[in-house]
Structure 1
Amino acid sequence: MKFLKAVLFIVFVFAALAVHAQSSADLKRQRDELTRQLDQLNQEYDQTVNNKKATLKQLNLLKEKINLREEKINNINSEIRNLDNQIAESNSSVHNLQSQLSQLKKEYAAMVLFTYYNQSSYNKLMFIFAAKDFNQAYKRLKYLQQIGTYRERQAGYIQETQVELHVKINELDKNKKEKSTLLVDQLKEKESLGKEKETQVQVVADLSKHEGLLKQQQQDIQRKIAKTNKAINTAIRREIEEAKRKAEEEERARQREAAARAKAENKEAPVVKPRTAVKNLSNSEVLNATPEAARLSNDFLQNRGSLPWPVSTGSLKQGFGIYYDNEGIKNESYGWDIKTNQGASVRAVFNGEVTHISDVSGTYLVIIKHGEYFTAYSNLRSYNVKQGQKVTTKQVIGVVSTESSTGEAIVNFAIYKGLDPVNPKIWLVPN
């Protein structure tokens, strides 16, 4: 019974450690990815430092570096906490294994001593031959065999426990060394973070000398965002109105057919104004009026969470929802700002039809219709599709533009259900 409890305990400990090992592996992958992103930002930042005049791009890169550095430090803290838990569990496991080993050795030693002191009294042959009958002799023989087997099994338990104890001690040493390495890495990251924050203060001071120019640049960006949002809203409204117009024409055609049938049958046809019938339809019903549109809407919905990003390589710069700019002014983002490589291709995230292309403050906006859903791609340097063209998933529709004031290549991506913007996070595959 004691052995069974010991085995169950060891199985439980190993299961717990397996969970921690998986978590540790995930944290390490995250730390490696953060390190890779930091290295890439360092290269970009080094290029801007060559310019003696501080730029908005330099400040933005510093902010990204600081955010990533803080995220990496948090990641390291999580790894350290994870290791602390593993070390505590390993210490507990070592203590329990040592107690079990000590108990097993005591029991084994007592059994050996008992056998030694009583070996003349329990001579195997005499013990067997002293039996009353053959059946009892056979049972005594099996009893002696079981004693021998039990001794061998106990010796095996002792050896197995010693091996487990050795493994746990090595694992404990490994975790302690890994924790020591992480603490050193954490200290380096904190030092780098401190230096970057000092540099940020200096860059902000330099930029403040050109405050008027910077405010003008930021205002230009905000005006461009507002114009883009307005253009998207106008284009979608136009699509809805066009869908309603087609629905009205189809209703009139049905009424004419009904009137013709009624006349042929000498009956009075009911008169219903087409607009009265259509105006009660929701935007969703209007946009899904045709079987093709309804099927495309359903396909788009079925792929929620697995749509590809509009660029093959990119990182999220500004998410969906309310945010505050450098001046503390409240803003709202209706989509995602995705930072990518200069000259990167922008691609459709799903099958659909190009319904709108326009120039917004020197860059292009492309809107693709997917039934009642729309995807908008703005801040394009160029486009290679045309209005009314059918496109497929991951088909290249244009090239991202590079912001002259920041030197960054950012594509603005948004998803709408009718006139309502929705968060791309729940639609795009995790990057």
Structure 2
Amino acid sequence: MFLFASESFNQFALRLRYIRQYTEERQRQAARIMGTQYRLHQQLSGLTQQQKRKSSLLNNQLNENRNLLTLKSKEDEMVQQLSQQEQGLRQELEERRQAVNRLDNLIAERVREEIARAARAARLAARRQAALAAAREARRAAAARNAGGGAGPARPRRETAASEETNDANNDTAAPESDAPETAAEAAADRRAVRIALTPETALASSSFSGNKGRLPWPVSRGFISQHFGRHPHPVLKHVTVENRGVDIQTAAGEEVRSCFDGKVLTIANIAGMNTIVMIQHGDFFTVYAKLRSVNVHEGQRVSAREVIGTVATNAEGTSEVQFQVWHNSANLNPENWLGHK
């Protein structure tokens, strides 16, 4: 109607061209709208997928947060348990330190007593020898005076010598001068002594023990060294060191503990944290066997090498171990240098 309402052919042609242009423009607009719709659809699909991914990530993050909270609670429980274990370890370490101090004090006391006793015995022996020598000299002087004064017939020399030997024997048995009580200065000197005054017997025992350095038999027939001699860092606690006066030898439950050398049982005692201990003297050397459950010997008894002196104890954790120490007078030695190879 718009075309046919034209007043002239030219107007008709213009209107036709206008309608065509208008139609083409509408088609282009429709194509642009379709393209825009397609792009919007693609963007919508992308946003939908992105939203799904974000939702999935959010769910994963929530799950991770829940897992982290669970892990944190478990970690807190573990930290609390470790703190309790650390407190237990520190308490155990302190108890062990106290037990070691009690054992050290006992060993030092027994060594001091033995050193003082040996000093007293040596002094008494010296006094006895001096008294015998003085009595012998006095008898010789009296015999010389009698022989020179002509107071009577002189006895034959053989008879005089026999009489002197008899008197010496009687004086050696009695020796009243040598048993005099010791003075305060002598007692103080005994306490200040730092090593045992050796008699021929104890000197032989010391020399024999020293000559077997590196060849002594182990105090148990089977086992291994679970803790070495000296200062070591604690296996669990940081910045904490432990000191071992001997070696701890872990072995089987009920294992027999043996003397490593001939000697005399000096001390048997019970010490908290160390169970029963046995201290054996070998001249001026001492060996200590701690953490024993039972003992088969008594104080003053002579024991030989490899003789059974007791059985090893087992602690609350089920560990059976004996602690072995070596002392020379009051000096603590490394037992690993004295024990032979298994």
TM range (shorter): 0.5 to 0.7
1:361 to 265, 272, 278: 272
Q: Helix, strand or coil: the match of 2:289?
A: strand
Which residue identity is paired with 1:338?
I
Which SS does the other structure have where 2:119 is aligned?
helix
SS of match in other structure, 2:215: coil
Q: Tell me by how many angstroms 1:217 deviates.
A: 2.4
SS in 2 for 1:209: helix
- Is structure 2 residue 181 aligned with structure 1 residue 306? no
Whichever residue aligns with residue 206 of structure 2, its letter is S
Q: Contact 2:114–2:196 at 8 Å: present in 1 too?
A: no
Distance 1:225 1:367 in 2: 15
- Rounded Cα–Cα distance in structure 1 between residues aligned with 2:107 and 2:80: 38
Aligned equivalent of 1:390 = 302
Q: Are 1:220 and 2:132 matched, yes or no?
A: no
Alignment of 1:68-107 (within 5 A): none
In structure 2, how many angstroms separate the alpha carbons of the residues matched to 1:369 and 1:395? 14
Match of 1:321 among 230, 236, 240: 230
Do residues 336 (structure 1) and 211 (structure 2) align? no
Give the C-alpha shift of residue 223 in structure 1: 1.1
State the alpha-carbon separation in 1 of the partners of residues 339 and 202 from structure 2: 21
Q: Tell me how far 1:397 sits from its aligned partner.
A: 0.5
Following superposition, the deviation at residue 205 of structure 1 comes to 7.2
C-alpha distance in structure 2 between counterparts of 1:206 and 1:212, whole Å: 10
Determine the structure 2 residue equivalent to 1:56. Answer: none
In 2, the alpha carbon distance for the partners of 1:308 and 1:315 equals 13
**Which residue is 2:107 aligned to?**
232
Q: Is the 8 A contact 2:119 2:196 kept in 1?
A: no
SS of equivalent residue, structure 1 residue 430: coil
Distance 1:260 1:292 in 2: 27
Where does the alignment leave 5 or more consecutive residues of structure 1 unmatched? Answer: 1-201, 268-272
Match of 1:245 in 2: 120
Task: Please name the residue that 1:375 is paired with.
Answer: 287
TM-score between the two structures when normalised by the length of structure 2: 0.59
**Correspondence 1:265-284 to 2 at 5 A:** 265=141, 275=186, 283-284=194-195
The alpha-carbon distance between structure 1 residues 398 and 221, as it changes in their structure 2 partners (threshold 3 A), is same
Separation in 2, partners of 1:211, 1:302: 45
Q: Deviations over 1:262-305 (max 9, x none)?
A: 433269xxxxx9949x87x975561x2x2221111111112111
Matched, 1:407 2:282: no
Distance in structure 1 (CA, Å) of the matches to 2:225 and 2:86? 27
**Looking at both structures, which has the greater relative contact order when contacts are Cα pairs under 8 Å and sequence separation is at least 6?**
2
Query: Which residue matches 1:426?
Result: 337
RMSD: 2.9
Report the residue type matching 2:127 in the other structure.
R
Identity over aligned pairs, percent: 35
Secondary structure of 2:294's aligned partner: strand
Aligned-residue offset at 1:204: 8.6
> Aligned ranges for residues 4-403 of structure 1 at < 5 Å?
206-264=81-139, 265=141, 275=186, 283-284=194-195, 286=197, 288=198, 290-325=199-234, 326-327=236-237, 328-361=239-272, 363-403=275-315
Summarize the Cα distance change of 1:218–1:284 in structure 2 as closer, same or farther, 3 Å threshold.
closer
Q: Label 1:214 to 1:334 Cα distance change in 2 as closer, same or farther (>3 A).
A: closer
**Alignment gaps of 5+ in structure 2:** 1-76, 145-182
Q: Report the AA paired with residue 222 of structure 1.
A: R
| SS of match in other structure, 1:429 | coil
- Work out the CA distance in 2 between the residues paired with 1:238 and 1:204: 50
Query: 8 Å contact 2:271–2:277 — kept in the other structure?
Result: yes
Deviation at 1:214?
Answer: 3.4
TM-score by length of 1: 0.47
The aligned residue for residue 171 of structure 2 is: none
Over alpha carbons, which structure has the higher Rg?
2
Q: Once the 2 structures are TM-superposed, how far is the Cα of residue 348 of structure 1 from its aligned partner? A: 0.4
Which deviates further from its counterpart, 391-400 or 354-363? 354-363
